[in-house]
A and B are shown apart, each in its own frame.
Chain A
Amino acid sequence: MNYMVPPGLYAIGNPAGNDPVLVTANYKMSYDLVRRSLAGRNVWLLVLETYGINVWCAAGKGTFGTGELVRRIAASGLTQVVSHRRVILPILGAPGVSASEVARRSGFSVSYATIRAEDLPEYLDGGMATRAAMRELTFTFYERLVLIPVELVLALRQIAGIGLAALLVVAVVGNPAAGISALCAWTGAALTGLVLGPLLLPWLPGRSFAFKGAEAGLLWSGAFYLLAGKDVWSGWIIAAVFLALPAISAFYTLNFTGCTPFTSRSGVKKEMRLALPVIGVALLTGIVLLLAGRFLP
């Protein structure tokens, strides 16, 4: 599949020289969303080269940025196409674009319109005014849900690799059934951190993502205990499971900070400094407990 749209100037409907110019990224989904919300109007759409990456991420990287905007305005001959000197940008593009710099270098003034493409019609009809709600970010259940498949695909190899290693090691040190059990425990804990943590984000108490992940991991530990361990596990194994599995989930939920639109870099740094050592110690202790249960009477 191709996620890119060729950059350049597009006409939606039958725009004339005084119609507005909206700017977006050449990520297919952003482009389609903007087009759909503008259907039935006459506007210009200037698509920047962001290499198929959405506006928010591209702005963070600087590809949706001052330089590309100025270049694209010049390359598309926008000054000959429209009589006004104004371009309308998505608010989430602002981390990459300096409005004053664009004005200085291209002569075009920048208006930051809305966060969501769906609000564009109202913005355009309302005399280009941004209502408070249009500049307020949301992170709904659905908005979190659509992020998860990508995260899953990215983590799949790692999860499968470590899972298989756990299976082999435990099967050799213990027995094959225990190996299968370890594989299930690991995969469940990783998926809990990757899927359940993000989905339950606002309802898991606490602010730290690692803490939220550990809470989700505790749920999984409990479920796994009821499924597999209730009558067979020794105290050693129970302790190991309830220590190590939440630690694994905590790690994967902590990773989700990269996908959220409200976690600051300083916050994530602080959290990593605190959480990573705790996660490491919990994991190691879990392994030691498992070994102790195996070799001590």
Chain B
Amino acid sequence: MKGFRYLENVATLKLDQAACIGCGRCFEVCPHQVFTLAGKKASVSDRDACMECGACALNCPVKAIFVDAGVGCASGMISEWLQERKLRAPGGSCCS
């Protein structure tokens, strides 16, 4: 995204190019222009821009994409941690 970059070398995005059928869905749904289509295959051209929203993986018809998707929300993760350690009742996340 123009003007914004987050941490490098953390995104969990993986593309299995052998499985790709070049339908272009991943390119269509990615709001950060992570993919490019060359010939009949998609390729990851900007992995560090990936925000792990999961849209590409969910929409790939042949499941050629893996990403550990989730909302990058600090307060949500803190309450998740606390819940896992039974320090806090469930409920309360970001984005609500």
Which residues of A are interface residues toward B (Cβ below 8 A)? 53, 57, 59-61, 91-92, 94-100, 112, 115, 130, 132, 135-139, 201-202, 207-209, 254-255, 257-272
Q: Which of B1, B53, B73 contacts A139 (CB 8 A)?
A: B1
Q: Which residue of A lies closest to B78 (CB)?
A: A272
Q: How close is B82's CB to chain A, nearest CB, in angstroms? A: 13
Determine if B51 and A94 form an interchain contact, defined as CB atoms under 8 angstroms apart: no
Q: Which residue of B lies closest to A54 (CB)?
A: B95
**What chain B residues lie within 8 Å of A100 (beta carbons)?**
59, 61
Determine if A266 and B58 form an interchain contact, defined as CB atoms under 8 angstroms apart: no
Instruction: Tell me if B28 is interfacial: C-beta within 8 Å of chain A.
Output: yes
| Alpha-carbon distance A184/B68, docked complex (angstroms) | 41
Q: Which residue of A lies closest to B3 (CB)?
A: A202
How many chain B residues sit at the interface, stated as a range, is 35 or more
Which residues of B are interface residues toward A (Cβ below 8 A)? 1-8, 10-12, 25, 28-33, 49-55, 58-59, 61, 68-78, 94-96
Determine if B59 and A264 form an interchain contact, defined as CB atoms under 8 angstroms apart: no
Determine if A268 and B77 form an interchain contact, defined as CB atoms under 8 angstroms apart: yes
**What chain A residues lie within 8 Å of B72 (beta carbons)?**
257-258, 260, 263-268
With A258-B72, A262-B6 known as contacts, the answer to whether A94 contacts B96 (CB < 8 A) is no
Q: How close is A65's CB to chain B, nearest CB, in angstroms? A: 9
**What chain A residues lie within 8 Å of B53 (beta carbons)?**
59-60, 94-95
Given A60-B70, A94-B59, A257-B73, 18 other A-B residues pairs in contact with their CB atoms under 8 A: A57-B95, A98-B58, A100-B59, A112-B28, A137-B32, A139-B1, A207-B5, A208-B7, A254-B74, A258-B73, A258-B94, A258-B95, A259-B94, A260-B72, A264-B6, A264-B50, A267-B6, A272-B78
Determine if B7 and A94 form an interchain contact, defined as CB atoms under 8 angstroms apart: no
Determine if B12 and A266 form an interchain contact, defined as CB atoms under 8 angstroms apart: yes
With A264-B6, A264-B11 known as contacts, the answer to whether A60 contacts B1 (CB < 8 A) is no
Q: Which residue of B lies closest to A104 (CB)?
A: B61
Determine if B11 and A267 form an interchain contact, defined as CB atoms under 8 angstroms apart: yes
Determine if B31 and A267 form an interchain contact, defined as CB atoms under 8 angstroms apart: no
| Alpha-carbon distance A57/B93, docked complex (angstroms) | 11
| Alpha-carbon distance A99/B28, docked complex (angstroms) | 11
| Alpha-carbon distance A212/B78, docked complex (angstroms) | 20
**What chain A residues lie within 8 Å of B59 (beta carbons)?**
94, 97-100
| Alpha-carbon distance A97/B84, docked complex (angstroms) | 28
**What chain B residues lie within 8 Å of A92 (beta carbons)?**
31
Q: How close is B16's CB to chain A, nearest CB, in angstroms? A: 17
Determine if B95 and A262 form an interchain contact, defined as CB atoms under 8 angstroms apart: no
| Alpha-carbon distance A266/B51, docked complex (angstroms) | 9
| Alpha-carbon distance A202/B1, docked complex (angstroms) | 11
